Amino acid sequence: MAVNQMELSQVMAATLSSDYHIRRQAEEKLTQAESAGGVLTSSLLQLVANGNEQLPVRLASSIYFKNFIKSHWPESPDENGGISEENRNLIKSHLVDLMLSVPAPLMAQLRESIKIISDLDFPAGWPTLLPTLVQRLTSSGDLNDGVQFGALETAATVFDKYRYLVRSNEVLRELQYILKEFQEVHLALYRQTMQEIFSPALKDASQATKASKLAKLLVVELEIFYDLNVVDIPEYYEDNSATWFEGFLRLLEWQDAPAALKAVDEDTPGAIENLKAQVCRNVALYADKYQEQVEPYICGVVKSVWTLLVSTSPNGSNDQLVSAGIKLLSSAASTKWDKSPFEEANSLQAICEHVVLPNIKLRDSDVEDFFDNPTEYIRRDMESADQDTRRRAAMELVMWPELVNSSVGH
């Protein structure tokens, strides 16, 4: 099949047919067209960008593009992988701006494509990626700008890989490059978001959409903080630790958040739960690795967290928050501080009685699941042993017997 734009549009539409034979023929034509390599990818991106095309066709094109990239993008610049160097460079020069200009479902697929490419090429093989994202982040002072949020989310997907990389000279060089381009923008964005999200005007019901957008933006900013600090503490973040941690403490103690940020049902966390959970992860990272920088705040944080956990319901919407909060307490408990954050009278007893024990025991829903299907329940319970669950986090906390024993009089 020659890669003709009109014909490709018809073929992509055919892949959505309910008729198996029509779908199969379309898939065979696409397989034949793959021999055209980067020409096919360029044609697919043109379909994605074409606002006159039906959305399902554009979405199908973005998904096929993502999967083609995943299968054919070379792991080394010296390889071809089925896409010529010229077409790879063409894709990288246009992909970010295209991603930021399309509707959300298409944006999500193209963002995944950017992550696939960046995991292999960034930063050395894609030097324009980060400057482009930074430029889009700073092009507007309006935090409700969808372009700004899309650029930040994309940066987060690019930086996410550093959570799983072992410290090495190469990794440190990459992070140094990222920090030079991004650290000041990150801090400025965090300051602005914190100022706006705590605005009294945001509590008005008419501001619900804006409040939700700001909260989502702030969650991503906090996730990026973790990504850029997990390998080593950057000097710029150390110098500005007061700004970050004073904000973290304020978020943990936030009681009167706008209704739009709270969980809408018993199983799905709201924005405020996601915010506080990520704060706990960030502080736990510092408690584990950078104690000197977090020590001025650890007593206040621990008090805020255990007070928060004591008052948190057993609903599934709070599971991630409770797990992250208990893990933070575990990190604080396993570290020696000049002043113990657990010195306050009855704090240990309160943690054990109102945080550990309630989260180790089975909930009513767990008991019901066990009696309905014991085999399936045991399988899920075993699989969750390495996951972030309430029970797992609570059991890790009681691994520090000097704290628990002292609280129960042993």
Q: How do residues 137-166 score in pLDDT, each as one tens digit?
A: 998 777 877 889 999 999 999 999 999 999
Q: Note the pLDDT of residue 387.
A: 55
User: Residue 149 in contact with residue 214, Cβ under 8 Å?
Assistant: no
Kindly state the tokens that stand for 101: 């200009």
User: Residue 275 in contact with residue 223, Cβ under 8 Å?
Assistant: no
User: Residue 17 in contact with residue 56, Cβ under 8 Å?
Assistant: no
Q: Which of 355, 363, 366 is nearest to 396 (CA)?
A: 355
Residues of the chain below pLDDT 50 = 1-2, 385-386, 407-410
User: Residue 197 in contact with residue 214, Cβ under 8 Å?
Assistant: yes
- φ/ψ (deg, to 5) at 336: -85, 130
Its pTM stands at 0.89
Q: Which of 129, 141, 63 is nearest to 100 (CA)?
A: 129
Q: Note the pLDDT of residue 404.
A: 53
Q: Note the pLDDT of residue 390.
A: 66
Q: Note the pLDDT of residue 410.
A: 43
Rounded distance, CA 149 to CA 224, Å?
Answer: 13
Q: Which of 143, 294, 185, 286 is nearest to 226 (CA)?
A: 286
Q: Note the pLDDT of residue 386.
A: 45
Specify the 3-state DSSP secondary structure of 157: helix
The CA distances from residue 379 to 77, 205, 359, 376, 382, in Å, are 44, 44, 20, 5, 5
User: Residue 83 in contact with residue 41, Cβ under 8 Å?
Assistant: yes
User: Residue 304 in contact with residue 295, Cβ under 8 Å?
Assistant: no
User: Residue 369 in contact with residue 377, Cβ under 8 Å?
Assistant: yes
Rounded distance, CA 206 to CA 261, Å?
Answer: 13
Q: Note the pLDDT of residue 403.
A: 54
Q: Note the pLDDT of residue 185.
A: 97
- Looking at residue 8, the DSSP 8-state letter turns out to be H
Rounded distance, CA 270 to CA 317, Å?
Answer: 7
Q: What element of type H or E holds 348?
A: helix 347-351
Rounded distance, CA 170 to CA 298, Å?
Answer: 32
Could you read off the pLDDT of 344-386 as tens digits, one per residue? Answer: 756 677 777 777 766 666 666 667 777 778 887 677 666 654 4
